[in-house]
Structure 1
Amino acid sequence: MQWMNTKGPLDLKDLKGKFVLLDFWTYCCINCMHILPELKKLEHEFPNQLVVIGVHSAKFENEKDTDNIREAILRYEIEHPVVNDNEMKIWNSYAVSSWPTMYLIDPEGNAVYLRKGEFKADDIRTILNAAIPYYRGNGSLDEKPIQFDLLAYSQDPTPLRFPGKVLADEKSNRLFIADSNHNRIVISSLGGELLEVIGTGEIGSADGDYQTAQFDHPQGMALVQDTLYVADTENHLLRKIDLKEKKVTTIAGVGRQGDSDETWPGLGTNATLDNLPKRFFGSPKTTAINSPWALWPHGDDLYIAMAGPHQIWKMKLDESEIGPYAGNGREDIVDGPLLPSVPYQQGYSSFAQPSGLTSDGKTLFVADSEGSSIRAVPFDPEGDVRTLIGTAKLQFGRLFSFGDIDGPADKAKLQHALGVCYVDGTVYTADTYNNKIKAVDAVTGEVKTIAGTGKPGKADSPAQFDEPAGLAHAGGKLYIADTNNHLIRVLDLKTNEVSTLEIQGLEPMPVKQRPEAPAEAVQK
């Protein structure tokens, strides 16, 4: 099998004497994303006792490719070895059935702990702190340092780094770019002249002016007059930027991932079927949120694609309240009424990692990525969620039906689409894992590819992309966050010609440097 973030294949026998944590993951999965920071905490706290190995067992066809996994390792800033288990051989040998799943193997080679689903570093830290003295005492613990040959040590600096989303404003001639892995917002003219950089580039959540504010892998944005709203995804926060005062302020979230109980703000720990609230909402600054990924303003409200709990949320623009608007919290592609009165109640709409938002003024269109579907959510609270293109009508396997097929809605298929942009009756779609831009008729759902060969690349003619994730429109052009290429591409909707936008004046940022290893460190 192919290995990454290490000089060559690893064998568990070679790691005898270490605790080994096997993390079974796939890079599309929001739950897998959530535990990566927890693994990093453990790796840094137990550098000489613990080795984490990511076993990448793909869900989507696109994820089986080693080059794509390499990009995901860099995008998520993974610091441990990863093996491409693209035929699910390791997955099957460990009887794994869901993502994420972890096994902890002790220094003597025994699997001693199994955990399915998300977990926190504290859960594993408690086990290691209790076990290390025992294995140290019987002489079976090897505490020699190991240094792995990470992909991050061989990267070239780039002006943008995995840009996730874009927002174009024709009126002010501005393009807002979520420069996600540089942890900042870049503002340019629509022609590419650099106007502003917001954020230090360091991971953090500090408010303040453009030179001191910090973000953590921001994604979607929304513009309301002179205020730019930002989904600060890995901080689990919403931020607003006063573009006149040049000031960043936190307006929602508590700075940590909301758990399943907090999916329903205002529910309370003593809630019963007899005393459920009529609707679920809380104060934005005291309500924990979970991986906000995309934003859309409408009237007095800001709609939020909350990828973590698989819901669409809504916050009042006066910042008085926030809470779920659509989705019963089950990860699925199911049409129906917006929101249940009982958490997770069936018979209501379900989403699967919603990641992109756009609107025609009456309907909110959603890129529902894990179901490779485009959903339509009414602004009328009495309306029903419907599926424009996707898997809702399937009896089962709605999260596992995907492909690259143009045509009428009942035949067409997408693969993990992350971005949508409505223009004149068409929902333009970043069909991310197919490396294409597609046009979806907003009424009939008919799909047509307008750019992209399907193969990853950065050529303008014929156009190629590499996992594009964000779309925006201005002046007859689509602006595309071409994420894995670290570029912004421009698609002329009249000619279908694609060009690459150069951000004039934006300098490359430094990349991760190889640290000096202790003399006794083992190189792998």
Structure 2
Amino acid sequence: MTTPSSPRRAAPILAASIALLAVAAGMAWLARTGAEPAPADPFARMNMVVPASFKGQEGVGATQDLFEGGIAWLNSAQPIRSQDLIGKVVLLDFWTYCCINCHHIIPDLEKLERKYADELVVIGVHSPKFPAERDTENIRKKVREYGVKHPVVNDAEMTIWRRFGVRSWPTLAVIDAKGNFRGSVSGEGNYDTLDAFIGKLVEEHKANGELDETPFVVYAESDRPSDGPLLFPGKVLADAPNNRLFIADTGHHRVVVTDLDGAGQATIGTGIRGFKDGPFDQAQFDRPQGFCLVGDALYVTDTENHAIRRVDLSARTVETIAGNGTQSYRRNGSFQGSNQAEGLNSPWDLLPVPGTSELIIAMAGPHQLWKIDLESNLVSVWAGSGREDIIDGSYGDAAFAQPSGLATDGTYVYVADSEVSGIRRVSLSGEQAPQVGTVVGQGLFEFGDLDGVGDAVRLQHCLGLAYGDDRLYIADTYNNKIKVCDPEARRVETLVGTGEAGSSDASPSFYQPGGISLAGDTLYIADSNNHLVRAFDLDAKQVRTLSLDGVSPPKPPKKKPTFANATPIELPMTEVAPGDALTVDLSLEIPGFKLQPDSPVLTLIEAPDSPDALGPEVSPTGSTTLPTGDALTLPVPLSKPFGAGDTLTLKVSASIFACAEEGGFCTLKQYSWTVPLAFAEGAGATVTLAPPAAE
């Protein structure tokens, strides 16, 4: 959990927005060996203190818009007002996309949304820490990358944050169905508390007849199609001796192997999110990030599975060597990696320790560095107390803040310490003092884009490192730059990148690069938000984009849509012209509603009594079409010519994402038309369908 204050320095950039709130809320960190036990009272963690701005106001969410001040909405066709949600229990998730703790609660939010599908609405309130996080398009990228399905409002000026008196990320606030603030809780690990609290509210509102159980549906950014070979690549690893480049195709949940020019060689993983060992074409990952190579084994941080995977490149198999797919809260001690009762906590990068059988793990979740011994399979905490901060000192007393990238010169391990926008170094032998030190970086809220020396340097959420020729290369992620550092002189300067988000090679620009790797005179860059891999020639000072020939996006198996909530519409016999094709004109005009722009319509065409009557072009799993107006024209090829006197029953189902014309939230309108057809000379070849005039 991150609070907008640093024990070492005040926040200079967010001072105007946060200064009034940066009070006594401390850093929440626990030295524990397992999940924190739930209190006997499930509501004990809830903060019931009503924010000052709401005191004395009954049903405040019904009388004023609690979301006023948000500058843009994502996963929503139109702005949502709190008044539109009266009748729903509302859970507000105050988050910022750099925050690892905020990532950790996404599965909890998904569980709550599934359990209370018709009673609960989750609204993400994105209140930024870094300047880059104020930008709506940057937020849109992360909403898509992390698969956030609920509406998100960009609280760029932290107006909503202040209204609710929030002090840390993440914080979850509950509004009841009458618009009253009922409580809040901060940090992760609060699913049971929220489940019990929301469940009690749902019972109360149902008993009083106050719930609106109309389905609340959104068209999520993550549901938009993607046809590029990569999706949010997180890290890269160049293997120059073997002419290989390993790419963490993070958004596609797989690892892609190419040569150093980008020609595809292999794909590791199905591309379907999961946790499964086995051959390359059966193994599954969940948002893999960093790698390291030891012999012919590739070790992978399987970040959202909280695991370390070993890829045997000769046998073409994947196995898990540590972690069990669940998040651990351990911050001390050691255990056997083969112990399936033990999980990890968002491992982000890996680094072999020269001359040993050990790997160092950047364990972003508990803000620590861990080790795993490949011979003994012993996993242990190496450095960091678990407190989120920038503190130098001994291995045990030092503090990191979401370590995300690793590199070494053989004496030190260098760490991209992302939440303090700093570069740290850790003595491998323990003989150097301090054992953990800082190259550049000052505090949780000391960031910017300043080249220079020592304490004057400012980075912004750096995620990747590479080392070569006494220089350290830095992916200065939120500044959209690659920088170079002399770690002894503590001098940092921009190497390449304009600072503006872009994908140009001629005037090199990047969009939040996440990982870098050095091979000879070439620096390979995972240009995450551009879904690209770039190569920078250190001698020629030129950037090229790898074409990734032979690399295709994964093709998840399609399933037949169910249209479970469809309104059935039975139509009388309709005459159509004989032939081997007909056309369906589908009206999308729904009384009282309007279509959401850029939302495709899902349709399924069937012949229930004669399934072989439809041509092979008619997909048995349905089709999505982006309408250009208030109607769709659907061609229906038939498997054979139908003559006069023949009959055929056609069933057409559609899901249409629509929003109320007079405000309010959007919903998914589903219809299934069943129309018996009689083929007759002189009839037209078009069947016209429309939603009912009233429902």
After TM superposition, the score normalised by the length of structure 1 is 0.91
> For 2:513, which of 444, 468, 490 is the aligned residue?
468
C-alpha distance after superposition, 1:448-478 (max 9, x if no partner) = 1111000001001210000001000113100
1:436 aligns with 2:481: yes
**2:421 matched to 1:372?**
yes
1:226-256 CA distance string (max 9 Å, x none): 1000000000011001111111001101221
Of 438, 449, 466, the residue aligned with 1:387 is 438
Q: 1:386, CA displacement in angstroms? A: 0.9
Equivalence for 1:285: 338
Output aligned runs, 1:229-268, within 5 Å. Answer: 229-259=299-329, 262-264=330-332
Q: Quote the offset at 1:381 in angstroms.
A: 3.0
- How far has the Cα of 1:500 moved from its partner? 0.2
- Pick the aligned partner of 2:96 from 26, 33, 51: 26
Deviation by residue 1:347-387 (Cα, 9 ceiling, x = unmatched): x2110000000111111100000000001111113441111
Q: Name the CA distance, whole Å, in 1 between partners of 2:128 and 2:102.
A: 12
Greater C-alpha radius of gyration: 2
Q: Secondary structure of 1:337's match? A: coil
Partner of 1:275: none
Residue 477 (structure 1) aligns with = 522
Residue 311 of structure 1 and its aligned partner are, at CA, apart by: 0.3
Contact 1:153 1:514 survives alignment (8 Å): no
What code does the residue aligned with 2:372 have? Answer: M
Cα separation, 1, equivalents of 2:483 and 2:252: 28
Q: Which amino acid aligns with 2:502?
A: G
Mapped to 1, the partners of 2:657 and 2:377 lie a distance apart of 57
Q: State the one-letter code of the partner of 1:213.
A: A
Q: 1:517 to 1:16 in 2, by over 3 A?
A: farther
The one-letter code sitting in structure 2 at the alignment partner of 1:476 is D
- Counting only pairs closer than 5 Å after superposition, residues 170-189 of structure 1 correspond to structure 2 as 170-189=240-259
* Preserved contact between residue 158 and residue 509 of structure 1 (Cα < 8 Å): no
Q: How far apart, CA to CA, are the structure 2 residues paired with 1:497 and 1:463? A: 8
Kept after mapping to 1: 8 A contact 2:89/2:202: no
Separation in structure 1 between the aligned mates of residue 555 and residue 284 of structure 2, nearest angstrom: 17
1:199-210, aligned counterparts within 5 Å? Answer: 199-210=269-280
Deviation track 1:105-141 (CA, whole Å, cap 9, x = no partner) reads 1111112121011134333222233332321121101
Aligned twin of 1:446: 491
Of residues 194, 198, 219, the one that matches 2:289 is 219
1:127-179 alpha-carbon deviations (Å, 9 max, x no partner): 23333232112110110112113223444321100000000000111000010
- The answer to whether the 8 Å contact 1:480/1:489 transfers is yes
Q: Any residues of structure 2 matched to 1:97-136 within 5 Å, and which? A: 97-136=167-206
Q: Please tell me the residue identity of whatever aligns with 1:463.
A: P
Q: Which amino acid aligns with 1:236?
A: H
Which residue pairs with 2:690 in the alignment? none
Q: Quickly say closer, same or farther: Cα 1:401–1:520, change in 2 above 3 A.
A: closer
Match of 1:362 in 2: 411
Of the structure 1 ranges 401-410 and 39-48, higher mean CA displacement relative to structure 2 is found in: 39-48
Deviations 1:313-349 (A, max 9, x none): 011011431111111111001111112xxxxxxxx21
Q: Which residue of 1 aligns with 2:390?
A: 333
Deviation at 1:281, TM superposition (A): 1.2
Show structure 1 runs of 5+ residues with no match.
265-279, 340-347, 392-397
Residue 45 of structure 1 pairs with residue 96 of structure 2: no
In structure 1, what is the Cα distance between the partners aligned to 2:174 and 2:418? 31
Equivalent positions of 1:17-166 (< 5 A) are 17-166=87-236
Counterparts of 1:397-412 in structure 2, within 5 Å, are: 398-412=443-457
Q: Distance in 1 between matches of 2:165 and 2:190?
A: 23
Answer whether contact 2:144 2:221 (CA < 8 A) is retained: yes
Q: Give the structure 1 partner of residue 553 of structure 2.
A: 508
* 1:46 Cα deviation from its structure 2 partner: 1.9
Letter of the structure 2 residue corresponding to residue 85 of structure 1: D
Measured in 2, the distance between the counterparts of 1:120 and 1:39 equals: 10
8 Å contact from structure 1 (residues 229, 241) kept in 2: yes
**Structure 2: distance between partners of 1:292 and 1:399:** 20
| Counterpart pick for 1:322 among 379, 384, 388 | 379
SS in 2 for 1:410: helix
Match of 1:523 among 662, 666, 679: 666
Q: Check the 8 A contact 1:263/1:289 in 2, yes or no.
A: no
Task: Provide structure 2 residue ranges, at least 5 long, that are not aligned to the other structure.
Answer: 1-70, 559-599, 603-653, 660-664, 668-695
C-alpha distance in structure 2 between counterparts of 1:311 and 1:190, whole Å: 32
Q: Is the 8 A contact 1:145 1:518 kept in 2?
A: no
2:331, 2:385 within 8 Å by CA — same for their partners in 1?
no
How far is 1:519 from its partner?
9.7
**TM-score of the superposed pair, with normalisation by structure 2:** 0.69
Q: How far, CA to CA, are the matches of 2:454 and 2:428 in structure 1? A: 23
Alpha-carbon contact 1:175-1:190 (below 8 Å) kept:
yes
The yes-or-no answer on 1:306 pairing with 2:363 is yes
Query: Number of paired residues?
Result: 493
8 A Cα contact 1:145 1:520, kept in partner? no
Cα RMSD (Å): 1.7
The answer to whether the 8 A contact 1:157-1:510 is kept is no
CA distance in 2, matches of 1:108, 1:514: 33
Does the C-alpha gap of structure 1 residues 319 and 47 become closer, same or farther in structure 2, counting only changes over 3 Å? farther
Within 1, Cα distance between the matches of 2:531 and 2:154? 24
- 1:390 Cα deviation after fit: 1.1
